[in-house]
Structure 1
Amino acid sequence: MIRLSRIVAATAFFFAISGCQKDDICPEGTETTPLLVIDFTDVQDPSRLKAVEGLVVRATGIEEDYLGPTNTNSISIPLRTDQNFTEYSFVLNGGTDSENEDIVTFSYNPAPDYLNRACGYKIDFLNIEVNVHSDEDTWITSGIILQENVENETEAHISFTH
């Protein structure tokens, strides 16, 4: 009887450890949900990049700045994956007496893309649209869609002229 219980215990132990697998780890370099890439260009020559002085970027309704103040001609920002729009505040001359805030809404269709068990899903953003809310002192003169689908971060998706 003791011998039979040892055999049963050994067999149970063998099946228990043989069912274990190496942890699933998402490999480095796997595509993830892409950021929206925005270039800032000169209103006089839209083919020329033009840095924004003291740029501050924050999602509306959130106190904390996502970016800035910084001088840059290109940024990458996240879009919400749980809604079909994201609204940001873009501030020119952030932190100075001449701050100028523009509110911009990005609308899109989130498209989940299953990668695998370890990595889960990434979200692509299809049919992106941009709306710069006008006010009496709008510094972003236009939003030009360069790529209507946000599927990677290799090139700019939108260009803001200023």
Structure 2
Amino acid sequence: MNQFQKWIFLAGFIIIAQGCQKDDICPEGTETTPLLVIEFYDAADPSQLKAVQNLVVRAAGEEIFLGPETVNTITIPLRTNENVTEYSFIRNSGSTTENEDRISFSYDPAPEYLNRACGYKVNFTNIDANTLQDEDNWIISEVILLENVENETEAHISITH
């Protein structure tokens, strides 16, 4: 290989190497679409958290999302491609005192572009909750604590039971 061919080969290698980019991998710890945080409070003392016994949470027409668990705080996803998500909240699941209430969450999805590797996350603005009334509601009231769902560090809604 003569001197000229070596320079051509070296120049070609440099041009190809400069055209390569590092992989587009979304780094761990990057914020993603936040979940809705709900806390359950005691109707007799609304300042005290109160666990819901054997709670099962199911999205309308879907498999069980959570439970049965005895918890006072839950996180649930909202649909990113719609303005409403409906869940069934079933207290005392599997017992003779089982009671199901349905809550409809309405909101405005707000997509936020992160970067090429991570794509988009969806925040939710103007969140509202409405318990569908039946003859035996165990959910007494719901209060919007934060209208915008942008992270999972604080509760967005409190439910009194």
- Relative to the length of structure 2, the TM-score reads 0.92
1:11 positional shift: 4.0
The answer for the alignment partner of 2:59 in structure 1 is 59
Distance 1:95 1:15 in 2: 67
Distance 1:145 1:19 in 2: 51
1:81 positional shift: 0.3
Check if 1:95 corresponds to 2:94. Answer: yes
Distance 2:9 2:60 in 1: 61
Larger CA deviation: 79-88 vs 91-100: 91-100
Identity score, percent: 62
Larger CA deviation: 6-15 vs 32-41: 6-15
The answer for the alignment partner of 2:21 in structure 1 is 21
1:6 positional shift: 7.3
Aligned residue pair count: 160
The answer for the alignment partner of 1:144 in structure 2 is 143
Q: After superposition, what is the alpha-carbon deviation per residue over 1:25-72, rounded to whole angstroms, capped at 9, x for unaligned?
A: 22222211110000000011111100000100010111x211000000
Change (3 A) 1:5 1:95: farther
Q: After superposition, what is the alpha-carbon deviation per residue over 1:118-154, rounded to whole angstroms, capped at 9, x for unaligned?
A: 1111111000000100000111111100001001111
Check if 1:31 corresponds to 2:31. Answer: yes
**1:40 alignment partner AA:** F
The answer for the alignment partner of 1:133 in structure 2 is 132
Check if 1:43 corresponds to 2:54. Answer: no
- The unaligned stretches of length 5 or more in structure 2 are none
Provide the secondary structure at the position in 2 that maps to 1:26: coil
- The unaligned stretches of length 5 or more in structure 1 are none
Distance 2:147 2:111 in 1: 16
- Relative to the length of structure 1, the TM-score reads 0.91
